């Protein structure tokens, strides 16, 4: 299953319906602005698709005690989601090694990667980073697995994996311009500004298995 724009919104609509809520009620239950999921906000005046942020989806799953797999089932429109091809898996501590990603942040050098079954791939380029050290504490712990999509558009407020010339970071995308990118810490108020020429790639964190 490919989890695209229409599937994401179908999952949100179905979750709201299953919980006896409107999409506004679902947003409110998660502490979000009640208009966050309104249908009028899903496509801009210029016709550009507006994706819900990863953070907002995580919040409604937490508020309704819904698992990522259950959400995938709702998004699929079927009674169950079939396992597709295993996703490439790499330990996060090894991600900065040369030759593991192309310039767009897509996996390469497949013989260095492991693989893991995942219920419904996000897209054909998605992969999994497994946390294997304590550098991401207290946010991510050893054994946590992050499903990364280098193909999905990254927007302000999204949690992202950022490969810089100095290594891999997990942050929230605050603002991006042609010259620099502002990244918000996920555990403090700290904001890091990185010049564009120091960034190798940025990819969206779609799911976290904790």
On whether both 201 and 110 belong to a single domain, the answer is yes
On whether both 102 and 127 belong to a single domain, the answer is yes
What is the mean pLDDT of the segment spanning 63-78? 79
Rounded Cα distance, 56 and 87, in Å: 24
On whether both 40 and 91 belong to a single domain, the answer is no
With a cut of 50, say whether residue 69 has pLDDT above it: yes
Q: Is the dihedral of CA 199, 202, 208, 209 positive or negative?
A: negative
CATH number at residue 146: 2.10.109.10
CATH number at residue 20: 1.10.260.40
Q: Is residue 11 part of a domain?
A: yes
Give the total number of structural domains in the chain. 2
With a cut of 80, say whether residue 2 has pLDDT above it: no
On whether both 32 and 119 belong to a single domain, the answer is no
Best CA proximity match to 126, nearest among 145, 158, 149: 149
Written as six digits, the tokens of 80 are: 């169950």
pTM: 0.61
pLDDT confidence of residue 54: 86
With a cut of 70, say whether residue 56 has pLDDT above it: yes
Q: Which domain holds residue 155?
A: 87-209
pLDDT confidence of residue 70: 77
57-67 tens-digit pLDDT = 989 999 998 87
On whether both 108 and 181 belong to a single domain, the answer is yes
Rounded Cα distance, 78 and 82, in Å: 10
pLDDT confidence of residue 110: 65
What is the mean pLDDT of the segment spanning 91-115? 83
Question: What is the three-class DSSP state of 170?
Answer: strand
106-162 tens-digit pLDDT = 888 666 678 776 655 556 788 899 999 888 888 888 999 898 988 888 989 899 999
On whether both 150 and 199 belong to a single domain, the answer is yes
149-186 tens-digit pLDDT = 888 889 898 999 999 999 999 999 999 999 999 999 98
On whether both 125 and 198 belong to a single domain, the answer is yes
On whether both 25 and 103 belong to a single domain, the answer is no
On whether both 41 and 142 belong to a single domain, the answer is no
Report the mean per-residue pLDDT for the chain.
85
Q: Is residue 82 part of a domain?
A: no
Q: Is residue 157 part of a domain?
A: yes
On whether both 72 and 17 belong to a single domain, the answer is yes
On whether both 28 and 102 belong to a single domain, the answer is no
On whether both 49 and 21 belong to a single domain, the answer is yes
């Amino acid at each position: 299953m490919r989890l695209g724009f229409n599937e994401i919104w179908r999952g949100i609509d179905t979750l709201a319906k299953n919980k006896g809520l409107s999409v506004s009620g679902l947003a409110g239950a998660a502490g979000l602005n009640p208009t966050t999921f309104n249908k009028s906000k899903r496509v801009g005046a210029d016709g550009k698709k507006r994706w819900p942020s990863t953070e907002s989806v995580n919040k409604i799953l937490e508020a309704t005690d819904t698992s990522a797999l259950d959400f995938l089932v709702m998004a699929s429109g079927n009674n169950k989601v079939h396992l597709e091809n295993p996703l490439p898996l790499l330990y996060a501590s090894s991600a900065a090694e040369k030759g593991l990603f192309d310039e767009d942040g897509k996996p390469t050098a497949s013989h260095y990667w492991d693989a893991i079954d995942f219920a419904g791939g996000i897209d054909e380029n998605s992969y999994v980073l497994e946390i294997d050290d304590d550098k991401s504490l207290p946010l991510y712990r050893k054994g946590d697995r992050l499903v990364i999509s280098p193909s999905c558009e990254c927007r302000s407020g999204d949690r992202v994996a950022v490969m810089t010339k100095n290594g891999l970071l997990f942050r929230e995308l605050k603002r991006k311009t042609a010259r620099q990118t502002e990244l918000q810490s996920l555990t403090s108020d700290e904001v890091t500004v990185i010049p564009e020429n120091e960034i190798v790639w940025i990819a969206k964190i779609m799911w976290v298995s904790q």
